[in-house]
Structure 1
Amino acid sequence: MPVFSFAPYALIFLAGLLLLWLLRRYVQERRYRRRPYVAPACNDWARQPLPAEAPVHRVALLGDPGAVATTGPDPVLQLLESWQQETGPAGTIILLGDNIYPVGMPAPDHPKRALAEARFDALLTSLGRFPGQVVLLSGNHDWNKGRSDGWQYLRRQEAYVRAKLPTAHYLPLDGAPGPVSLQLAPGVLLVVLNTQWWVQRGPRPTADTKEPFRQLRQLLEANRHQRVLVAGHHPLYSNALHGGKFTAKQHIFPLTTVHKQAYVPLPLVGSLLPLYRKLLGAAEDMAHPRYRKMRRRLLRVLHDFPDVVYAAGHDHNLQYFQRQGGHYLVSGAGSKTAFVQKGGRATFVHEHTGFFSLDFYPQHTWLRTLEPGNATEVFRLQLYPAPAAAPPVVPLPRQVEQLLSR
């Protein structure tokens, strides 16, 4: 007598449930993709006026600008130049890494060297017209996408900046992990971390993996009287790809996470790649063990210092989170955009090119969202008032003094 098996029917049933879930997700995503999302608690943001006085300092946070247009005007660079003209010398532009796509600065005889130089020159030319300060960080693409020879790519890029834009600060020096501090204005301190150092394979500057976090804690403790901006390439919160968020399309066409035009249908099986990146992660994902350890140690420090702002790039969108009194930004839409999921822990997200501006007023600090093609802001928020007391400014670390005196 034949034995009846429920296994094939169970698989078909589960496959049907998965397809229904993906269809529902797809319909939901179509409704909100590329539209700004603001958490209900901040829906009145447009009714909060900016201070009438001029800010004492402004910071543009431009992440992942490595694919700017080389033929014709670039919308983000045009917007950045408008910001420069409005700001003048009382401002700082911070590039949050991934300054050259796809693999940073190749060797002079490499076939992609000409494209890398063209993209980087367009960016540096725009920055060279700015009378304020310029700070560059490195990201995984600047380290040849984290490959074992990435340190050589990073050093070539740093040397190129030193030759083309000698007034800029490439921090930390020579690919070190940091932290490095730079006084932007009285009462406004920038602290830079090279987060790629913790996830990089192959040669890199020698350092203790835990010591930078101890130094960061000491630095933040000594500067409680200041408004502090910590900058790194990798986000600590994200509703996008590197935070394990995927579109319904990426479950059906999983190879599009690697290349946007790779429309190879792999239904059901294709869900394994998003699941893998969510739970285990590629080297550039929050779920990866090295990234996860770095993130956990960094958050352990930052959570003890309310009102510190942490700014990153990496995910190609604009996101703002307020967690345990701190402010966490993802400003990685300098030249590309990618899906970002609304809701969750986020206060604001938008899948759009652009960048965040931090405006430091005498008594308040404001976050503003600037996007090409949008004449008005899609979001702004007062982050916190200035500290009540303002003791004398802590002197610059010796490493930065040497850098400024080059």
Structure 2
Amino acid sequence: MWVSTCLSYPAVLAIQAISFGEYIITGLDSWITVDEKYRFMAYRLVGFSMLWPLMFLNFFSLKKVAGAFQIVATAVKLIVASVIIFTGMYHILFKHDTKNFENSFKGSDWNAGNLVLGVYSGLFAYNGWDVLNFGAEEIENPRRTMPIAAISGITISAIVFILMNVSYFSVLTVEDFKNSPAVAVTFAERTLGDFHYAIPFLISLLLIGSMNTTIFACSRYMYSGANQSVMPTPLRLIHYTSRSPRLAVFAEVLIAICLSFIGNLDQIISYMSFALWSQRTCTQAGFIYFKLTGKIDNKDSFVVPIFVPITFFLICIALLVIPITQNYHVAIYGLSMTAGGALIYLLFIYPKTLPNFLYKINDKLVKFAQLIFNAVIDKFEVLEEYIEEASVLKLKF
């Protein structure tokens, strides 16, 4: 959980913010030129300029504000994907632009380490299927709904992504792909005429929706960990009317901003992916152990053939071992975060009691965070008391 909340999910948010800045600046290139040496910082500053408003958006009720915005962002996402797919299919079926599919793998780099890093980037697009369980408590029949949601979601995403990439290659060469800062923009410039000016901004709107979703998911994950006493107590604070875990939202955004400076986009994806797959490896090892020993007795669980988790476990091992042996820079950061999470667990979570001064620090942090974020500890037996106290502060946003 420490690796997820301090690396994996904030890194995803950082990637989305940087991509947002990249598309905005690319869209403005026709009118404003940003020198290449300033682009690294410019991408991040533009991304942060959207990240902070989204953070405040998530301080309020999801249903009233963030949820409505997410519907609009999803609609834009479908429109952009449809435009790219139909344009590409038109070039393939009617203009017969298929020459880029001839000798598609010519000049490929078959080095195992580089292949795994490429797989990391490819699999990053399919991330999200493993967060379905975040909302399991709100699902009426998870045993039936969860497998359907996972299988249908992955299938639809795979079909859409494959069609989009086929559409791209109907117009762009491999070199165009490698040299383009924003592939969708380059594709639009060659196929959509003057409408291509709108594409980077539509994709930016799409990324706003993705950032909004990531902030919601990772902050709730951190908040859940605090409720289970795995994360610091102040992260359990919620606003007493919107029920938003404001400190968790703020913490995830702050960590994402810090992580955005550890490297370029590809490096951040590699660091995040290594940490993510190390988590999945441990999770699968635990799942296989419990399945073989018959310790899974949850009535809502659904049966998975044993060869499925074993196959997935072996894939996870391969995706971890190869980078360690051939591209150790990627592994160092991910392993450091994993070791740091294990150390924190052994020092602060595993012991039944801690030194008294740590409890005093914890209490002071809780009180300070309550004042700053106008929030209360999510405990039903004392909720009314905290609501009365918080209302006196008059610190509503």
Q: Which has the higher relative contact order, 1 or 2, with Cα contacts under 8 A spaced 6 or more apart? A: 2
Same fold (TM over 0.5): no
Q: Output the TM-score relative to the length of structure 2.
A: 0.25
The answer to which structure has the higher helix fraction is 2
Largest Rg, 1 or 2? 2
Q: TM-score, normalised by structure 1?
A: 0.24
